[in-house]
Amino acid sequence: MIYQAKVPYDLAARRAWRALPFPEAEYERRIAAVQARLRAEGLAALLAYSNGADPGHARYLVNFETSAGDTVVVVPADGAPMMATNWLMHGEPMHTSIWTTWLADVRPAERPGFARTPETSVAGHTVDRIREAGASAERIGVAGTAIAPHHLMVALQEHLPRATWVPADDLMLDVRAVKSPLEIEVMRRAARISGLMHEEALRALVPGARGHDVAARAHAVAFAEGADALAFDSAVATGPWAGLKHSAPSDRAVEPGDMVFLDMAAVYHGYCADVSRSTVVGTPSAEQRRFLDTGLAMFEAVLAKAAPGVPVQDLIATARRIAADAGYEADYMPKGFGHGLGCSLFERPSLRPATTAVLEPGNIFALEPMLVRMNFGTACIEETVLITPSGAEALSSCPLRVW
């Protein structure tokens, strides 16, 4: 069925408004990379699911920023991709930035519960495209399994009973893990905007300033510099709250001697950066300085060691050893070492304690070895880091030592 809308949303209607962050050839390269993996793994098609909890797959593949709804991109092993979405403000595709996507085949749908007798659905469009590709009785990969809704999967299984559904999160995350030169430049800009946010926040940290004042100044910089959005809810944790690490801005007034933890970042052209800084308002005490200096030493040692071919476990061991040698092993947070970045805030490479990842050129991740002590503070320098052919580069340009 064809979705009925008052405003035309066909490719010709959309093309006049489209402003892609990358040339179409970049998106075609991504689709081709996914299709090569599908063929290598014996899959006839991929169903890549996105919603507001993680819009990454849709943004990466087709440049659509989904939100409070369901979006599926179907990539056949051979043939053109299709996007189906029910993220439609007041039922109009052209009121919901559907014109941002480069795809010819875009199929809007009604949302469950929003129409008494829905003529279109994301599941229905997905089934149609899989049948069109001749894959209704084949192995089909599903990416986004952690967030794909039960009602969608039930409908797909009901209408495609001979298909075999195969988890394909690894496939998509592997394709996205190594950034192209064009992606790297966009992430460089996202990181620099985030660095400017921190520089402004640090200038705002004077006695009497409220956390909300600090965040407002930083957020104003982000949007003045061209950010699409904030990458996550900003943290401005001051005084005792700095020992909770990620604390929302509040009306608490900053006092001399407060430890402060800042965590804020921008999204630019759909790509997330992540940057944090720790500091003290005024002159640090001897213990505050030693704590923060140890956090800096961890970060600098890990950044110096990071390079292609280096196991992430070696980086984790380096940070842990520095914390232990300084007497801060009890304050070292093993699960807070970092995470991959891209169109999602958490992707590959994995920097979690159990990781087996080995760094490659083009990997981009948030590096954040940290010390956190309740009722005292946080020592964490977090940077958006690029693995280059010869080493690693911190991208925000914000000073590391800010105390």
pLDDT tens-place string over residues 172-230 = 999 999 999 999 999 999 999 999 999 999 999 999 999 999 999 999 999 999 999 99
DSSP 279: E
Task: Return the structure tokens found at 143.
Answer: 């990416």
Laid out side by side, the sheet with 229-230 consists of 229-230, 266-268, 271-272
User: What is the pLDDT, as a whole number, of residue 233?
Assistant: 97
Distance CA 168, CA 145 (A): 8
Give, in degrees to the nearest 5, the angle at Cα 217 between 214 and 220.
145
Region 372-381 average pLDDT: 98
Q: How confident is the model at residue 318 (pLDDT cuts 50, 70, 90)?
A: very high
φ/ψ of 338, rounded to 5, equals 155, -175
φ/ψ of 84, rounded to 5, equals -120, 135
Mean confidence (pLDDT) of the chain: 96
Beta carbons of 285 and 257 less than 8 angstroms apart: yes
Tell me the DSSP string of 50-65.
Answer: EBTTB-HHHHHHH---
Cis before residue 181, ω within 30 degrees of 0? no
Q: How confident is the model at residue 115 (pLDDT cuts 50, 70, 90)?
A: low
The three-class DSSP label of residue 101 is coil
Q: How confident is the model at residue 112 (pLDDT cuts 50, 70, 90)?
A: confident
Q: What percent of the chain has pLDDT over 90?
A: 96
Task: Report the residue count for the chain.
Answer: 403
Region 65-77 average pLDDT: 95
Distance CA 326, CA 267 (A): 36
Region 124-129 average pLDDT: 97
* Residue 302 predicted with pLDDT over 90: yes
Distance CA 209, CA 249 (A): 11
User: What is the pLDDT, as a whole number, of residue 119?
Assistant: 83
List pLDDT tens digits, range 241-289: 999 999 999 999 999 999 999 999 999 999 999 999 999 999 999 999 9
Q: How confident is the model at residue 348 (pLDDT cuts 50, 70, 90)?
A: very high
Task: Return the structure tokens found at 341.
Answer: 């970045």
Beta carbons of 171 and 77 less than 8 angstroms apart: no
Distance CA 160, CA 307 (A): 46
Region 115-140 average pLDDT: 92
Region 345-358 average pLDDT: 96
Per-position b or e across 341-380, b if 16+ CB within 10 A of its CB: bbbbbbbbbbbbeebebebebbbbbbbbbbbbbeebbbbb
User: What is the pLDDT, as a whole number, of residue 168?
Assistant: 98
* Residue 301 predicted with pLDDT over 90: yes
Distance CA 179, CA 29 (A): 12
Laid out side by side, the sheet with 71-76 consists of 106-108, 82-85, 71-76, 45-50, 139-143, 164-167
φ/ψ of 40, rounded to 5, equals -65, -30
The number of CA neighbours under 13 Å toward the Cβ of 242 is 28
List pLDDT tens digits, range 37-64: 999 999 999 999 999 999 999 999 999 9
Distance CA 91, CA 138 (A): 33
Place of tokens 């926040």: 201
* CA dist list (Å): 401 to 6, 180, 259, 339, 381: 56, 31, 14, 22, 9
List pLDDT tens digits, range 146-160: 999 999 999 999 999
| Structural domains of the chain, with CATH | 11-177 (3.40.350.10), 181-394 (3.90.230.10)
User: What is the pLDDT, as a whole number, of residue 118?
Assistant: 76
User: What is the pLDDT, as a whole number, of residue 111?
Assistant: 85
Place of tokens 């939100």: 67
- Contacts of residue 201, defined as CB under 8 A and 6 or more positions apart, other chains included, come to 214, 215, 217, 218, 236, 262, 264, 277
- Distance between alpha carbon 82 and the CA centroid of its chain, in Å? 23
Q: Regarding beta strands 392-394 and 383-387, do their DSSP bridges make them parallel or antiparallel, or are they unpaired?
A: antiparallel
Task: Return the structure tokens found at 44.
Answer: 């006839």
